[in-house]
Amino acid sequence: MIEEELRSVSRCLDFAKLGVRLSRPCDRIHALDFQLFDYWPHAMPMSCLPIPGCVRSVVIVAAGVMLLQGGLAGQAAADSKVGDGRRVFENGCITCHGPQGRGMPQSSVGFAPPSTFPDFTICNATAREPDRDWKAIITEGGPARGFSEIMPAFGGILKPEQIEQVVAYLRSFCRQASWPRGELNLPRALVSEKAFPEDEAVITGAVNGTGSPGTDFTLAYERRFGIRNQIEASVPFSFERPESGDWHGGIGDIGLGYKRLLFSNLRSGSILSVQGEAILPTGNHARGFGTGVLFFETFASYGQLLPKDSFLQFQSGVELPTRPEEANRAVYWRTLYGKTLVQGMGRGRLWSPMMELLADREIATGERTNWDFLPQLQVTLSRRQHIRANVGVRFPLNDSATRSTQVLFYLLWDWFDGGLREGWK
């Protein structure tokens, strides 16, 4: 009996020889604890000293790795090309992720799946992630994006083109092609609204660099529902000190909005959405913390992918007061150009320098168009890239004597991808 043979001889798997890097400090797994005998490669020499305490789940992953190696070797003998992503998936990934991409039952894999274990059929979770993230996890393992170490690194086994094939096959588990792809989720600018519907919480700040001392903050919460929809709430609050007086602060006009995705196409690299928003007069107008008038705002946002990880974004809208005799109507338009730089051969931290050109004008006699230039830099902070920061300086291009230069910044949390304390290591 194989089990008796294993009891008589100390045997284990050497993951280093398999070309797989495990994220936990356990490269050799004792084989006596596992019932994988139907898959065991008995001809493979596996004599080494056992190290106790290694979990059963890691060896089950190893079984999939060995099947993957054997399957790829067989394909290489029959064809100069490795084959499509489905064959690679079925040769190894299926061990844990199951034939339908929903994951194998716990009774089969022998471990409790972590809360982040993917179900590839859930389009809301998979479509929003760009291929870059999937490739990083397959190549470097789960910890490359702050996920569980139960997912090993396959960069030592699979070639880049094989990983691309696997990612393409994983994408096929989502049966609804209308979900916008994560590649179209362009970096968020400091002022311009992006077109992609998101699940984010963002706190944005602006500090006057010239003129009267003052700071403005806005806390925004965005929640996506369905394929094309997003609701949003924003709460501004400010602190300022007049030339003659003490510091004072208060809440401004709260905004409630709804965004609707109209069009997205990964092949053309374009995405378009519209949004409507009600700006409620909740601020103290007498102290300068609101307009005192209910406003309705509507705008369109467009994003366009460009070669070499660069992109354009456009936004244009109108602000309409319910009492135009007390507040002017206004129009605005914003243009942004940026580029994303990726550390670690496309798998590390993201740096996105951007430049915004901003224009707004009140629709009234004698009013002029205000032009601003806003260079900025967004960077991912967490390994999972769901915590990001952005900082920039807004320079007035005209009427600089009456308009302040401001330092702008934000801290962004993509709460759908994990908690604030998750995904850092």
Angle subtended by helix axes 160-171 and 131-140, to nearest 10: 120
Which of 171, 202, 232 is a domain's end point? Answer: 171
Q: Are residues 107 and 232 in the same domain?
A: no
Which of 123, 148, 171 is a domain's end point? Answer: 171
Q: Are residues 7 and 76 in the same domain?
A: yes
Strand partners, 342: 350
Q: Are residues 273 and 241 in the same domain?
A: yes
422 falls within a domain: no
Cα gap 392→43, rounded to integer Å: 61
Q: Are residues 199 and 227 in the same domain?
A: yes
The whole-number pLDDT of residue 303 equals: 98
DSSP code, position 330: E
Cα gap 375→392, rounded to integer Å: 6
6 falls within a domain: yes
Strand partners, 306: 310
Q: Are residues 232 and 164 in the same domain?
A: no
As given in the structure block, the two tokens for residue 117 are 């274990």
273 falls within a domain: yes
Q: Are residues 99 and 201 in the same domain?
A: no
DSSP code, position 112: P
132 falls within a domain: yes
Count of domains in the chain? 2
pTM to 2 decimal places: 0.80
Cα gap 345→17, rounded to integer Å: 24
190 falls within a domain: yes
Q: Are residues 15 and 101 in the same domain?
A: yes
Cα gap 362→316, rounded to integer Å: 14
Query: By three-state DSSP, how is residue 374 classified?
Result: strand
In which residue are the tokens 């393409």 written?
Answer: 168
423 falls within a domain: no
User: In the chain, which residues have pLDDT < 50?
Assistant: 1-60, 62-63, 66-67, 70-71, 73-83
> 351-363, pLDDT tens digit by residue?
999 999 999 999 9
Cβ–Cβ under 8 Å, residues 295 and 319? yes
How many Cβ atoms sit within 10 Å of the Cβ of residue 53?
A: 6
Q: Are residues 413 and 366 in the same domain?
A: yes
The phi and psi torsions of 7 (rounded to 5 degrees) equal -70, -30
In sequence order, the 6+-apart residues with CB closer than 8 A to the CB of 71 are 87, 88, 90, 91, 92
Q: Are residues 234 and 136 in the same domain?
A: no
DSSP code, position 145: G
Q: What is the CATH number of the domain that holds 219?
A: 2.40.160.40
As given in the structure block, the two tokens for residue 400 are 């600089």
> 300-320, pLDDT tens digit by residue?
999 999 999 999 999 999 999
| Residue 242 domain boundaries | 182-417
Q: Are residues 150 and 204 in the same domain?
A: no
177 falls within a domain: no
Q: b/e per residue, 266-276, with b = 16+ CB within 10 A?
A: eeebbbbbebe
Q: Are residues 273 and 157 in the same domain?
A: no
Cα gap 198→303, rounded to integer Å: 14
The whole-number pLDDT of residue 109 equals: 78
How many Cβ atoms sit within 10 Å of the Cβ of residue 33?
A: 15
Q: Are residues 78 and 113 in the same domain?
A: yes
Which of 171, 191, 226 is a domain's end point? Answer: 171
Cβ–Cβ under 8 Å, residues 300 and 317? yes
- The number of helix segments (H) and strand segments (E) in the chain equals 9, 16
102 falls within a domain: yes
The whole-number pLDDT of residue 212 equals: 75
Query: By three-state DSSP, how is residue 417 classified?
Result: helix
